[in-house]
Structure 1
Amino acid sequence: MAEQRYLNILVPVDGSKEAEIALDKAIAVTKRNGSEAHLHILHVIDTRAFQNVSSFDTTMVEQVSETAKETLDEYVERAKAVGVENVSYTIEYGSPKAIIAKEAPKEVNADLIMIGATGLNAVERILIGSVTEYVTRTADVDVLVVRTNDAASL
């Protein structure tokens, strides 16, 4: 059987420690898969989070977007610093579950989603559901759930 090579790796990030660990492993996997491999970093701004804010205005979304853009620029530089040339990012707006599981993988032709394990406790998972759990259950491409930052597992 031929060795599995992933050439379009999608890694969703949300600023959590778990997402940072997934990003670092995705960078390593992209690098290991050669110069034709492409790393796509995705950040989804959950617009539903703004619906309950009484003083909601567009400047809030702009501020969140600008902060996300600065962070994603840093992530791209982190990847390039270790030799990953093909790296890009996207900022999407809407439901993280649907975008990460279905929309973004189609847009970037992803063959692997590398996603951080949820930071939610059991009660939170029951009440709001884990994005990671949803993605692993419904995505049409391979999903690797990153649970540790153990370099030996790279």
Structure 2
Amino acid sequence: MAVEIETVLVPVDGTSEAERAVEYAVAVAQRYDAGVHVLHVVGESVARGVQHGAIDADDVADDHQAFMDTVRGYANGVPVTQSVALGFSATKLTQHPVGVVLDTADEIGADFVVVPRESVREQPTAMLGKVAQYVLSYASQPVLSV
């Protein structure tokens, strides 16, 4: 039975580990002639900083654009799409990064997920390494944790 992969989801949080996960996601996509969907998961501290004016939303958007420029450099012709989601919500207590990743995988019809395993805790955007084990345990798609 042949494995069919059309969409590879890679959640990112702006860390070097997330960038490495993108490299793996592109490699999987190239192997299966698939596309890559990059999900920018915005951490609680960044979301609150934007909400309270301590962080400029344009700076966050510029950071995402710079990250996507890097992704497109790796892509080598692989189609790349992107979306942004809040990892946490002050109004929706059940919203957390694991749920955001799993829900997005279902919503976009991802066939494969690549998640960064370790994040540098000193970085304010780092958070996905903490959820990799849960994504591995609960995703209905195959998951590669790097």
TM-score relative to the length of structure 2 = 0.75
Question: Do the aligned partners of 2:11 and 2:114 also contact (CA within 8 Å) in 1?
Answer: yes
What residue identity is the alignment partner of 1:63?
D
Aligned to 2:36: 39
Aligned to 2:71: 75
Larger Rg: 1
Please report how far the alpha carbon of residue 52 of structure 1 lies from its aligned counterpart in structure 2 after TM superposition: 6.6
Please report how far the alpha carbon of residue 10 of structure 1 lies from its aligned counterpart in structure 2 after TM superposition: 0.2
What residue identity is the alignment partner of 1:40?
H
Identity of aligned residues (%): 29
Provide closer, same or farther for how the CA distance between residues 3 and 91 of structure 1 changes in structure 2, counting only shifts above 3 A: same
Aligned to 2:119: 119
Please report how far the alpha carbon of residue 33 of structure 1 lies from its aligned counterpart in structure 2 after TM superposition: 0.6
In the aligned structure 2, how far is the partner of 1:31 from the partner of 1:42? Answer: 19
What residue identity is the alignment partner of 2:77?
G
Provide closer, same or farther for how the CA distance between residues 110 and 60 of structure 1 changes in structure 2, counting only shifts above 3 A: same
TM-score relative to the length of structure 1 = 0.71
How many matched pairs?
Answer: 130
Question: Do the aligned partners of 1:117 and 1:132 also contact (CA within 8 Å) in 2?
Answer: yes
**What are structure 1's unaligned runs of at least 5 residues?**
122-128, 147-154
Deviations, residues 110-131 of structure 1 (Å, cap 9, x unaligned): 011111212369xxxxxxx821
Provide closer, same or farther for how the CA distance between residues 26 and 142 of structure 1 changes in structure 2, counting only shifts above 3 A: same
Question: Do the aligned partners of 2:15 and 2:120 also contact (CA within 8 Å) in 1?
Answer: no
